[in-house]
């Protein structure tokens, strides 16, 4: 399988290793996720049949599809359930809304901390006909050329300059770790990577609140120390 070609066609490409063989598969589109989720929720078709249908849709290796009856027991349900989990949200309750809000915050961190994502924002603003997906297919030098022209078209006061920012606190480190899991689609993660992604996405929000609490207490102690020092 040509991974580079698969990545050009599908942004999110994952792989599962079984008996030394790599099975590549993609995430579901939002439309596909909505349809299959409703079929499962309303019991419109046996779950095994639905899982087979989903696997046929997302598996990127035709030879694997042709030999689905030979795949190890549990492989297809495992891949399908993972795909359903990472591909969308059914918005059934407040917990689902909270998860989307968390996903948004995590993705903000990813985009904000990625120079090229920021480059794409500026280029698309200057050249509306481009899409981020199209820019990803361009060579590095062409991106730089477009970026420089975008600076002039948008009349930016200062030329762009990348800077290295040090991590500031515990909350920042926590978000960074979770964001790194989200960036696994840059390659083709293994089954272990996928489990790590799911674990990060399903992490209890209490951890974030606790991190913020610790950080606030640290800042409070720091302010108190500064006040005591100034009084001296």
pTM: 0.50
What CA–CA distance (Å, rounded) separates 27 from 87? 6
Which sequence spans correspond to the domains of the chain? 3-87, 94-196+204-212
Q: What is the mean pLDDT of residues 126-145?
A: 89
In the chain, what is the greatest distance between 2 CA atoms, to the nearest angstrom?
79
Is the pLDDT confidence value at 178 over 80?
Answer: no
pLDDT tens track for 15-44: 888 777 888 899 898 889 889 988 988 888
More confident residue, 159 or 11: 159
pLDDT tens track for 109-121: 878 888 888 899 9
pLDDT of residue 182: 47
Is the pLDDT confidence value at 165 over 60?
Answer: no
Tokens of 212: 């913020």
Q: How far is CA 77 from CA 14, 15, 85, 164, in A?
A: 15, 15, 12, 43
């Amino acid at each position: 399988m040509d991974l580079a070609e698969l990545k050009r066609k599908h942004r999110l490409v994952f792989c599962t290793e079984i008996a030394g063989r790599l099975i590549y598969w993609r995430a579901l589109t939002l439309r596909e996720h909505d349809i299959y989720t409703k079929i499962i929720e309303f019991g419109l078709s046996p779950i095994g049949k639905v899982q087979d249908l989903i696997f046929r849709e997302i598996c990127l290796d035709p030879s694997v599809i042709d030999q689905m009856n030979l795949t190890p027991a549990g492989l297809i349900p495992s891949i399908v359930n993972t795909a359903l989990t990472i591909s969308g949200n059914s918005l059934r309750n407040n917990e689902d809304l909270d998860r989307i809000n968390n996903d948004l915050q995590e993705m903000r961190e990813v985009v904000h901390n990625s120079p090229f994502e920021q480059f794409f924002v500026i280029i698309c603003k200057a050249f509306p006909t481009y899409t981020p997906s199209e820019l990803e297919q361009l060579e590095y030098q062409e991106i730089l050329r477009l970026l420089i022209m975008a600076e002039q078209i948008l009349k930016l006061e200062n030329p762009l300059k990348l800077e290295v920012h040090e991590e500031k606190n515990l909350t920042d480190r926590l978000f960074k770790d979770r964001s790194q899991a989200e960036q696994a689609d840059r390659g083709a993660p293994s089954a272990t990577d996928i489990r790590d992604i799911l674990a990060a996405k399903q992490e209890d929000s209490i951890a974030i609140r606790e991190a913020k609490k610790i950080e606030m207490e640290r800042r409070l102690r720091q302010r108190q120390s500064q006040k005591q020092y100034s009084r001296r």
